[in-house]
Structure 1
Amino acid sequence: MFMSAQTKAKELKNQLIDSEHLLHGLLADGEIYKLLTELKLQPSLLEEELNKIYRQENNAGIAQLSPRVKRIVDNSLVIARKLGFEFISPEHLLLALYEEGEGVGARILAKSGLKKEELNKKILGKKEDLEEGEKQTAVAKRSLVEQYTVDLTAKAAQGLLDPVVERSEVVERVIHILSRRMKNNPALVGEAGVGKTAIVEGLAERIVAHKVPEPLLNKRILSLDLMNVLAGASHRGEYEERMKDLIEEVKGSNGQIILFIDEIHNIIGAGGSEGSGDAANFIKPALSRGEIQLIGATTLTEYRKYIEKDAALERRFQPIVVPEPTEEQAIKMLKAIKNKYEAFHRVLIPDSAIEAAVKLSKRYIGDRFLPDKAVDLIDEAASAVRLPLISLPEEIQSIETRIKELNQEKAEAEKSGDKVKVRILNSRMADIQISLDEKKEEYNMRKGQTTTAVTVEIIKDIVARWTGIPVSKISGSEMEKLANLEKIMHERLIDQMTAVTSVAQAVRRGRAGLKSTQRPIGSFVFLGPTGVGKTELAKTLAEILFGQEEAMIRFDMTEYMEKHEVAKLLGAPPGYVGYEEGGKLTEAVRRRPYSVVLFDEVEKANADIFNILLQILDDGRLTDNKGHTISFKNTVVICTSNIGTKLIQDEMLKGGKVEIEEPPMLSTYTFSPRGREILTIGNKYFEKDGAVWKNMMLLDYFSGNQVEKVEIQPENNDIDKQIGFPTFGFDTHAISPQGVETITKGEQIFIRTATTAKVWKKQTLIEYFKDHVVINALPDAPEEQLPTGKLKTHAFSLDEKEIVTTGGRFWRRKGGTTNWETGILVEYFGQQKAEKGSLPLTHWDIHTFSPTGKEIIIVNDQIWFKEITETVWHGQLLKDYFGQNFPLEKETTEKQKIEEENDMKKYGNIKNKVMNELRKFFRPELINRFDEVIIFEPLKFIHMIEIVRLQLKGLTKLLEDQDIGFIYTDAAVKEIVRNGFDPIYGARPLRRAIQKLIENPISTLIIEGKVKPGSQISIDFDGTGFIFNIERMEAVSAQNNQNADVKKEFKCEKCANQFTTVIAANSTVVCSKCASKQLQEVKAEGKDMGNNKGDMGENEKKDEKIEMKEVEGAVGKDQTGKADGTERKLTN
C-alpha cells in the first residue's frame, strides 16, 4: 500500500507523500476496495477525484512522508491498540485518514458521502458509544489498579510515549537500584522541568524493548494518581479502604508491578485527617517489608521539606539527583521528540529552530530549566506558526456576516408579507452562498496543502514575549552596538568622557567573556556633584543594553536609613509581617533578570546595605527570605553617591564666581567675487586659499582702513572706539558680485565700494534705508516695514538682487532701485522643497551666494544649499559640509583643549581627595569588588548648551503633538544657559530656566489664543529680551499690492489643512502648513469674506512679533501702550 503511494508520488515527481497519495495506495488494496463497496461507495469515482487534484512537480529525489501522513500513521496505531491488534491494518489507516479531516484525501472521502458511524461499524465491529449502564458495568469490573493507575509500559508498547535520549546514565542508575535486594526504591530528585518523569518513561520503553536485566523483564510500571484515589472519598474510611486494597493488589502481583508516584512528597498528609492516617502510613509498612517496589519523583526543596523529615520513610528510598541537561544534551532531546510536535502542529521544525530555542531559553529564561523551557518554546512557536494558517480568513467571515444580515432582512420581509423582496433575497443569498462555498473550498485546499516551518525569528519573538526583553535586543547586532557604546551614550549624555568610556569598557569586558560569568555584567560607583548626569547615565545604559528605561530598577537609599529597613530588600523573616511578599530587590531582579540595578545616594543608607552589596558583587547572587537564589549575573549594578561634593564645590568657588566661557560660533560666511570663501568666528577672520584656511584678527583685517568722516553716531559698545570698526565680531558680512562689501553690527552698516578699498562709509540702518519703500507692505503692519534695528542676514544674488532677513521675514529689491518687496520665508521658497526633512521657514542665521550660483542658508549647525537651476535644497551638518579643516571645529577643539588642561590642573588633586573621602565611608573589601569608581566632573558652559538643546527637543515634541512648530536660535539657547548656568548645581537649574523663560510665555500665548494649531513659534534673543515670533504662514506670494485685498478661506488638497488668508491682487496662495499650491476655495453661504483690509482681525495677521515682559514668572501686561497689545517685551 505504501509502495503504491510512493510510486504515485514518484510518478508525479512530488517531494512529499501526502494524504492524496496515501488514499491512492488504500484504494489499490483489495480489503479496502471491498469495504468501500459494502458502504455503497464507488472507488473508481474516488480515483477520478484524485486525478483532478494531482499536481506535477520537479522533484528528482526520493519522496518523504509529510508531517500529515506521519500523524495519520500515529493515529492509526492508537486505533489498532484500542482494538487489541498488534499491527496496523489498512482499515485502521483508512479510519485515521478520514478522522484527519484537513488533507486532500480526507476531504475527498468526506465529499463522497462516507459516514463516520458506518465506517466505525464496519471497521470496529461495534457501536462507537456504549450505553450508560454498560459503561458503569465495565468500570465496576475494572480492578483498583486499573482505575487509579496508568500503565506506562502499555503506553510504551503502543508507541504513545516520547522517546528519551541523553539520560542513559540516570536510567542505568534506576535499574541498578531496582535490582537491589534491599532499599530498592529509587527517588528521582531534581528541579522542575529537568525530565524526571521522562526517565521513568524511558525505563518503561526499555522494559518493552527487552533492554533490561532479567529481574525487570515483563514487569509493569504503573503511575499512581493520588488525587484520583482521593476524589470522591467523602465517607469516613473510604479513602483508607481504597489505599489498603490498592496496596494489596500490588502485593498480589508477585513483584510484577512497580508503582511510580510523581510529586511523591504529596503522600505526606494525603488523605490525612483527625483519626486517620495519610498515604505514607499505608505505604511505609509494605516498603519496609519489601512487598512493593516504588519509584518516586520530587524536587530538591520538597524532598528536604517532606521526605527527609520522616526518617522512617526517607530511609526506604535511595535518592538519585537528576541534573539539568547541558545545551548539547537538550538539543539532542528536542531533536528526538520533534516528530511528535511536527505531526501534532503540522509544521516543520528545523534543527536551527531547536538550537535557537535551547540557547535562547538558557540565556534569557533563568527561572526555569532545560529541557522543559525549550520544549515549551518549540511548542508555542509551532502553535504561533500554525494558527494563522487555519484561522478563518476575514473575507469568508465578512461573507458569512452578510448572509446573516440578509437572513434577518428575509425574516422581516416574511413578517411583512413582502414576497417579492423574499424572492430577491433568496436569489441574492444563493449567489453569495455559492461564492462562500468556493472560498471555503479554496481555503480548505490551501490549509490542507500548506506546510510551514518554525523559524529562528519566531523563537526569538516568543522569548521576547516571555521575558519582556525587546526582540531587537536579541536579534540585533550586539557586537556592533557594543563597539559603538560611547557614541550611543553621548546621544543622551553630554560630556563626562571619562565616565562614559569607563562604563563602556567594563561592559565590553563582561560581554566578551573576559570576566567571571558569575558576577554582574558591570559594577560601578558614580561620584560627583548633583546634576552632572550620574542617574542619567544609568538610565542611558538601561535603554542601550536592555531596550528601555524601565529596565532600570531604582532604589532610593534614603528609604533604608534604619537598620531594620534593610531587611525589605531580601524580604521579612518567617513570622514577620510581609513574609509572603518577598524582598523588594530580589523580587524585582527575579521578574526582570536583565536590568540595571541602581542604588541611588547609597551613602544615606544603613551600613548593613554594604553586606548585601558584597554578596552581589562577589558571587552575583542573593538568597531571599524563602530560600530562592536570585542571579545578578545579567545585571549592571550602579551605586551613586554625593560623597566629596563639598570638596568639589569649595574648589570651584576658589577665586570667586565661576566665569562663563562661551563656545566659538560661526558669525558670518560669504564669498569674494573671485570665489574665495570668507567666514568670521567671533573676532577672527578666515579666508580660504586653495585647501588652506588663513586667519587673522578682525583688528588686523581693518588695519590701514579708515571710516570716512560722518556725523557723530550713537555710541555702540561693539564698535572699536579707536578705529571705528566692529573688531569684536559681525552680525552680517556680504560681498556683491561687483565687489561692494557690507558689514553690519547692531544698527550700523559699513560699506566700501571694493574689497581693496581702504575707506569705508559708516551709516545707521535708518540712513541706509532712507527713502526706500516696501511696495507690498500692509499699512497697519509695521513688522512688514524695512528692519532698521538689526539685520539677521544680508546677501547679494548673481542677478543683482539684495536680500535681507530678520526673524521669519525677508525683504528683496532689484539692485539700484529703492522699491522692496517683502514676505515670510515660506513665500521665499515658493514651490521649492528640501531633499530630506523640512526647509528653514522661521529664521536664518546666514544667507549667501557663491559666484558660481550656489545659494546657501545656515541655521544653527545645519546648512542648506542648491544650485541656481535647482528647485531642491540639500541639507547637511556644517561640519560635514566644510570637512576636516573647518575652522569652527578647530577653534572649538583648541578651546576645549585649553579648558581641559586647566581642568586637569584644577581637578587633578581634588579627585584624590574625593577618593580618600570614599575610603572613609566604604570598606576596602567593598571598593575592591567594584569594576570602576568614576568621578563625574562639573559641567561647563559648552556642555550646558547641548543639554538645553536636548531638553528643548522634548518641548518641540510636545508642541508638535498640538500641531505647533517650534524653532529657536543659538542666541536664545545661550541666554537660557546664562540664566540657568550653575556649575555647582549642575544641569537641574536649566530645567527651571526653560520653564521660566520659554514654557511659561508659550503657555500664556496658547491660552490667549495667539498660538493656534498650524502656527510656528520662533524664539530669539535680541540682547535685551526674548522675542517670540509667531508665524501663521497664511500669507501670499510677495507681489505688487495694487488692488484691494480680499480675505478668503481655503482647504489644501495635499494635507487637508483649512485656513483663511488675505489675497493680494495678482498673488498666488500657498498652504499655511505645507506650502502647497493645490488649494480649493471654501465657500460658505452668508459668511462675510472680508473684502477690505479693515475686516482682518488681530488674530488673522500673518506675522505677529511678540516681545513680552516677564512679571513673577508669567506674561505681563502691555508695556508699549498699544491698543492691540502685540508689542510686549520679555526682559531678564
Structure 2
Amino acid sequence: MTLDMGSVVAGTKYRGEFEDRLKKIMDEIRQAGNIILFIDELHTLIGAGGAEGAIDASNILKPSLARGELQCIGATTLDEYRKYIEKDAALERRFQPITVDQPSPEEAIQILYGLRDRYEAHHRVKITDEAIVEAVKLSDRYIPDRFLPDKAIDLIDEAGSKVRLHTYTIPPNLKELESRLDDIRMEKDSAVQSQEFEKAAALRDTEQKIREELDITKNQWKEKQGRTDSEVTPEDIAQVVASWTGIPVSKLKEEETERLMNMESILHERLIGQDEAVKSVSRAVRRSRAGLKDPKRPIGSFIFLGPTGVGKTELARALAEAMFGDENAVIRIDMSEYMEKHSTSRLVGAPPGYVGYEEGGQLTEKVRRKPYSVVLLDEIEKAHPEVFNILLQVLEDGRLTDSKGRVVDFRNTLIIMTSNVGADQIRRNSTLGFTAAIDSGADYTNMKDKVMGELKKSFRPEFLNRIDEVIVFHSLEQKHIAEIVTLMSEELRKRLREYDVDFVLTDKAKEFLAKEGYDPAFGARPLRRAIQKHIEDRLSEELLTGGVSKGDSLLIDENNGELTVVKNGNISTESES
C-alpha cells in the first residue's frame, strides 16, 4: 500500500487532525497484518504536520517501526537522504539503506521490452526492437543529466505520441475532396438562384458522387487510425533526441551529405586562403557527423596561430554559419576578460558564498543550454594561466563540473582557440614571410617553426598535448587581399540594400583598394579601413545630403589614383588625402 503524505496533510485545519488521520492508517495496517507500506519521497516525513510544536509524521511512525508493527519501504534520492534522513539519526537507524544504481544499457533494454506492451496499447502504435535499442543507446550518449531507464522511457513515449499524431493528420486527397465539395455546393446554389435548373441538377449529381467518394475515403482513413500498424522506428527516436538536445543524430540525408563533403568550399566562400585550417575543421565535423569520433572527447580542439587579421576568428564564425545557419551560434568567450586569477572562477561559476553563485558559469551554462555548438576561446594568451588548468578536463574527457556540482557535457562541442603568440617575432623578422621577394613556402615553414617555439614557451606541455591540432595561419598575400575586396564589398552591398541603393566595383577599383589595404603585418584589417575611408565615408555623406537617393545604381571606378563614383551619368571624384 502506498502512503501519500500530501493527501494525509491536505485539509487538516485543527491541531491533532493530522495525527488522528495517521493513527487510523497505522491501526488499519496493524489489523490487516499483511500490508507493506510504501512511502515515495521518504524525506517528506520529516516535518510533515509538525507545526508549532506538534509531533511530525516521522516521530509518529518511529515507535511502530522500532517494534516491527510496520513493514515499510521508502524511496528517496541520495541528496535528500543526506539532507533530511541522516540528520535524524533515530529515523535513519530504523531503515536499512539500499542503494539502487542506474541499470546498465543491457538491463535498460530488458526493462523497456517489459514496458513495451503498455506504451503500444496507450499510443496504438508498434514499437520495434530496433527503436528500443536506439532509445537506450542515444539517451545514454546524448542525455547525460538524467538516468536510465527513465530517459529512454521518455524517448519511447514521446516518439510514440509523435508517430500517433501523424496518423491524425488529414490526408491531402481528403482535403481536396472536401474543397471540391464546397465549391460544387456554392456553384449549385448560384445556379438555383439564377434559375438554371438543368445545370443545378447536374451539379447535384456531381455533388452526390463526390460525397460518396468522400465518405469512403474518410472511412478508410478512420479505419487506418484505429489500426496499430504505425511503427516507431530508430529514425523517430533520433528525431526526438535531436529536438531535445539540438544535436543532429538522425541519419544523414542526401543534401546534408553533399553539404558535409563540400564543407571546404562552403567555408572558403567566407575565408580566403588558409587551406590547412579549413581542411582540419571540415574533417573534424565530418568525423563527428558520421559517428566515428571518440565518444569521450569533444568533436575537435584546435589552436589557431598566426599574424593578426588573417581570419582566425572569421573561420570560427564561418563554421558556425555552415553548421547552424547562423554565425552568431558560436559560443564566444573573450579570454582578455579572464586576466586576473580570481576571474577564472567565472568560467564555471562563483563558489558558494560569493556574489554570482546562483548565476552559473559563463562557459558551463552556455554549453549546458546548447550542447552542440562551436566554442571560440578568443585570444587565449591574454588569459591567466589558471584558466588552462580548468580546460584540461574539457579537452581530454569532454566534461567539466560547474560550481553547483553539475557535470557539463562538452563531447558535442568543437573547441577553437585563437592566439597571437609569436606575432611580435613575426613583425620583427622580415624573413618570416612579409616580403614578397622571398619564397612563400620556405617563408611559411620558417614562420611556423618560430611560432610553435613561442607556443611551447607560453603554454604547459600537458595543455598542448591535449589539443588535436595546432594550425598556423598563412600571412595574406596581395592576391588574397584582392579576393577579400569582393567579400567585403558584398557586406557593404547588403547594408546599402536597406536604402535600395546598389553599386558595382570595377576591376580597377578593386585593384586600387587591394593596393591601399595591403599591409602584410596586419592582414585584412587595413583593407576594411581602406573601404571605410574611400567608399563608406563618401557614400554616407551622399546619402545624408541627398546626392544618392533611393533606387540609385552606382559605378565605382579608379582613375589616376582616385576613386570615381558614376551615378546616373554624373561623375563625382574623390581626391586622395
Which residue of 1 is the match for residue 7 of structure 2? 228
Which residue of 1 is the match for residue 22 of structure 2? 243
Which residue of 2 is the match for residue 445 of structure 1? 219
Partner amino acid, structure 2, of 1:232: G
Alpha-carbon shift at residue 647 of structure 1 (Å): 0.7
CA distance 1:340–1:595, shift in 2 (3 Å): same
Alignment check: 8 A CA contact 1:945 1:974 kept: yes
CA distance 1:297–1:914, shift in 2 (3 Å): same
- Find the partner of 1:600 among 372, 378, 381: 378
Within 2, Cα distance between the matches of 1:348 and 1:650?
A: 71
Deviations 1:139-172 (A, max 9, x none): xxxxxxxxxxxxxxxxxxxxxxxxxxxxxxxxxx
- Find the partner of 1:1107 among 540, 547, 571: 571
Alpha-carbon shift at residue 937 of structure 1 (Å): 2.6
Alignment check: 8 A CA contact 1:460 1:475 kept: no
Alignment check: 8 A CA contact 1:470 1:546 kept: no
Which residue of 1 is the match for residue 270 of structure 2? 492
Matched, 1:918 2:459: no
Within 2, Cα distance between the matches of 1:550 and 1:243?
A: 58
Please give the residue correspondences for 1:857-936 in structure 2 after superposition, counting only pairs within 5 Å. 902-936=439-473
- Find the partner of 2:80 among 290, 297, 302: 302
Partner amino acid, structure 2, of 1:590: R
Alpha-carbon shift at residue 1024 of structure 1 (Å): 3.5
Alpha-carbon shift at residue 923 of structure 1 (Å): 2.0
Matched, 1:982 2:519: yes
Matched, 1:940 2:404: no
- Find the partner of 1:640 among 410, 418, 422: 418
TM-score (norm 2): 0.81
Alignment check: 8 A CA contact 1:460 1:474 kept: no
CA distance 1:631–1:1023, shift in 2 (3 Å): same
Partner amino acid, structure 2, of 1:946: E
- Find the partner of 2:102 among 306, 312, 323: 323
Which residue of 2 is the match for residue 1019 of structure 1? 556
- Find the partner of 1:518 among 284, 290, 296: 296
Alignment check: 8 A CA contact 1:357 1:374 kept: yes
Alignment check: 8 A CA contact 2:235 2:251 kept: no
Partner amino acid, structure 1, of 2:14: H
- Find the partner of 2:531 among 994, 1015, 1024: 994
Within 2, Cα distance between the matches of 1:969 and 1:1010?
A: 19
Alignment check: 8 A CA contact 2:301 2:415 kept: yes
Q: Mark the runs of 5 or more structure 2 residues left unpaired by the alignment.
A: 184-203
Which residue of 2 is the match for residue 591 of structure 1? 369
Partner amino acid, structure 2, of 1:567: S
TM-score (norm 1): 0.44
> Percent same amino acid at aligned positions?
53
Q: Mark the runs of 5 or more structure 1 residues left unpaired by the alignment.
A: 1-221, 403-430, 662-898, 1031-1103, 1111-1129
Partner amino acid, structure 2, of 1:945: A
Alignment check: 8 A CA contact 1:469 1:546 kept: no
Aligned-partner SS, 2:32: coil
Alpha-carbon shift at residue 646 of structure 1 (Å): 0.8
Alpha-carbon shift at residue 1000 of structure 1 (Å): 3.9
Partner amino acid, structure 2, of 1:264: L
CA distance 1:572–1:235, shift in 2 (3 Å): farther
Within 1, Cα distance between the matches of 2:113 and 2:452?
A: 56
CA distance 1:312–1:391, shift in 2 (3 Å): same
Partner amino acid, structure 2, of 1:245: K
Alpha-carbon shift at residue 612 of structure 1 (Å): 0.6
Partner amino acid, structure 2, of 1:238: E
Aligned-partner SS, 2:99: strand
Partner amino acid, structure 2, of 1:1109: T
Aligned residues between the structures: 545
Partner amino acid, structure 2, of 1:500: V
Within 2, Cα distance between the matches of 1:257 and 1:390?
A: 45
CA distance 1:497–1:1009, shift in 2 (3 Å): same
Within 1, Cα distance between the matches of 2:271 and 2:103?
A: 43
CA distance 1:1018–1:469, shift in 2 (3 Å): farther
Alpha-carbon shift at residue 322 of structure 1 (Å): 2.8
Partner amino acid, structure 1, of 2:28: E
Which residue of 1 is the match for residue 189 of structure 2? none
Please give the residue correspondences for 1:28-427 in structure 2 after superposition, counting only pairs within 5 Å. 222-254=1-33, 256-315=34-93, 316-326=95-105, 329-351=107-129, 353-387=131-165, 390=168
CA distance 1:352–1:990, shift in 2 (3 Å): farther
Alignment check: 8 A CA contact 1:647 1:910 kept: no
Alpha-carbon shift at residue 377 of structure 1 (Å): 3.2
Which residue of 2 is the match for residue 734 of structure 1? none
Within 2, Cα distance between the matches of 1:391 and 1:439?
A: 19
Alignment check: 8 A CA contact 1:523 1:617 kept: yes
CA distance 1:340–1:446, shift in 2 (3 Å): farther
Aligned-partner SS, 1:1109: strand
Alignment check: 8 A CA contact 1:473 1:545 kept: no
Which residue of 2 is the match for residue 92 of structure 1? none
Within 1, Cα distance between the matches of 2:142 and 2:254?
A: 15
Aligned-partner SS, 2:343: helix
Partner amino acid, structure 2, of 1:645: A
Aligned-partner SS, 2:457: helix
CA distance 1:294–1:576, shift in 2 (3 Å): same
Which residue of 2 is the match for residue 528 of structure 1? 306
Within 1, Cα distance between the matches of 2:8 and 2:215?
A: 49
**Taking CA–CA contacts closer than 8 Å with sequence separation of 6 or more, which of the two structures ends up with the larger relative contact order?**
2
CA distance 1:922–1:558, shift in 2 (3 Å): same
Partner amino acid, structure 2, of 1:912: D
Deviations 1:435-463 (A, max 9, x none): 99999967863552233555655544443
Within 2, Cα distance between the matches of 1:528 and 1:654?
A: 11
Within 2, Cα distance between the matches of 1:593 and 1:957?
A: 32
Within 2, Cα distance between the matches of 1:515 and 1:224?
A: 49
Deviations 1:1007-1066 (A, max 9, x none): 6365543x5444333444334445xxxxxxxxxxxxxxxxxxxxxxxxxxxxxxxxxxxx
Within 1, Cα distance between the matches of 2:251 and 2:164?
A: 26
CA distance 1:448–1:363, shift in 2 (3 Å): same
More helix by share: 2
Partner amino acid, structure 2, of 1:450: K
Which residue of 1 is the match for residue 345 of structure 2? 567
Which segment is superposed worse, 223-232 or 498-507? 498-507
Alignment check: 8 A CA contact 1:470 1:547 kept: no
Partner amino acid, structure 2, of 1:639: M
CA distance 1:948–1:271, shift in 2 (3 Å): farther
Alpha-carbon shift at residue 971 of structure 1 (Å): 2.4
CA distance 1:278–1:480, shift in 2 (3 Å): farther
Deviations 1:790-819 (A, max 9, x none): xxxxxxxxxxxxxxxxxxxxxxxxxxxxxx
Aligned-partner SS, 1:1019: strand
Matched, 1:967 2:431: no
Deviations 1:263-315 (A, max 9, x none): 22322333333313433323333333332222233333333333344444344
Aligned-partner SS, 1:1108: strand
The Cα RMSD (Å) is 3.9
Which residue of 1 is the match for residue 197 of structure 2? none
CA distance 1:385–1:615, shift in 2 (3 Å): closer
Matched, 1:650 2:428: yes
Alignment check: 8 A CA contact 1:551 1:594 kept: no
Within 1, Cα distance between the matches of 2:235 and 2:286?
A: 25
Please give the residue correspondences for 1:1038-1117 in structure 2 after superposition, counting only pairs within 5 Å. 1104-1110=568-574
Matched, 1:580 2:358: yes
Deviations 1:567-591 (A, max 9, x none): 2222222222322222222111111
Aligned-partner SS, 1:320: coil
Within 2, Cα distance between the matches of 1:940 and 1:272?
A: 79
Within 1, Cα distance between the matches of 2:158 and 2:432?
A: 66
